[in-house]
Amino acid sequence: MNLVTELANPPPAKLHINGVSKTFTTQRGSVHALDKATLTVSEGEFVCLVGPSGCGKSTLLNLIAGLDTFDSGTVQMDGQPVTGPGRERMMMFQEHALFPWLDVMGNVLFSLNLKPGLNKQEHVEVAKYYLQLVGLERFMHANIHELSGGMKQRVALARALAPNPRVLLMDEPFAALDAMTREQLYVDLQKICKAREKTVIFVTHNVREAVCLGNRVVLFSPNPGRIREEFIVNLPRPRDINDPALAGMAGEITKALKGHTAKPAEE
């Protein structure tokens, strides 16, 4: 069956980012957004990038997505250089970026319609599967403006998952949501990641969120954007954001983060 193969989990990808630098040049001068970033992400890993705003986290994510070019270094997925956007790397943005002229189903179908191989009927079935996965199958025909912020991000997640990418890139997807909604999403995202083995890179400035979701937490510091330190998170899953052990680890990481932000990087 076509549909069965479509919904099967593809092997998660391995990412290798080596000495990547990026400078933005604007009228007001140039910004050294990313300085020789090196990061290796193994298959199926959930990596959280943490740092104050302006330290190049989104820049790095955009480079991996293939949305922007970089000045030097290499970005490789499974040994192949990343040269542009691709369906095996899907991105979720802080602003939901859903298309208001389409309903919920239409938005999820948008990414599927661009994927060769399945017919219309199968597209609809795949879309329904992912809407069910994020718990929104009942809102299939709703308009985007009728959804709450959390529901919008769920649709955006379904849309990103729909072409069955191997890497999921998430740029502060929950930053604009209230705490209650976020907590439910932590639970659900962990479930979904368990069901749909992906390699995930998740950007946040919320350390607790990072410890709750990630296998690994990578710290950034600004001016220029640099990767400074890594923490492995070995807490058992599923994790609860209010777990004291998790809070303890988050405290430790926050302290380290403050240290990096306070003193400028030595040249």
Ligand X SMILES: Nc1ncnc2c1ncn2[C@@H]1O[C@H](COP(=O)(O)OP(=O)(O)O)[C@@H](O)[C@H]1O
Residues that bind ligand X (CB under 6 A): 24, 26, 31, 33, 51, 53-59, 225
- Shortest CB 236 distance to ligand X, Å: 30
Instruction: Pick what 99 binds: Mg ion, other proteins, ligand X, none; C-beta below 5 to 8 Å, kind-dependent.
Output: other proteins
219, containing H or E segment: strand 216-221
| Least CB distance to Mg ion at residue 55 (A) | 9
62 is a site residue for Mg ion (CB under 5 A): no
The residue assigned the tokens 């080596």 is: 18
Please give the Cα distance from 16 to 18 (Å, whole number): 6
Using the contact rule CB under 5 A, the part of the chain among 56-64, 75-83, 113-121, 134-142 near Mg ion is 56-64
What whole-number distance in Å separates Cα of residue 86 and Cα of residue 9? Answer: 17
- Distance between CA atoms of 19 and 101, rounded to whole angstroms? 41
Asked if residue 204 binds Mg ion (CB under 5 A), the reply is no
* 91 part of the interface to other proteins, by CB under 8 A: yes
Query: Quick one: 29 or 116, whose CB is closer to ligand X?
Result: 29
Confirm if 124 and 55 have CB atoms less than 8 A apart: no
User: Which alpha helices (DSSP H) does the chain contain, by range?
Assistant: 2-7, 57-65, 104-113, 120-133, 149-161, 179-195, 207-213, 244-262
**Encoded tokens for 238:** 């599923």
Of 67, 195, 245, 265, which lies in the binding site for other proteins, with binding defined by CB under 8 A?
A: 67
| DSSP 8-class letter at 148 | -
Q: Judged by CB, which is closer to ligand X: 7, or 31?
A: 31
Q: Which CB atom, from 44 or from 66, has the smaller least distance to Mg ion? A: 66
Helix (H) or strand (E) holding 90: strand 89-92
Nearest residue to Mg ion by CB is 58
Residue 70 or 231: the one with the smaller Cβ distance to other proteins is 70
Q: Given the rule CB under 8 A, which residues bind other proteins?
A: 65-67, 85-87, 89-91, 93, 95, 97, 99-103, 110-111, 114-115, 143-146, 159, 163
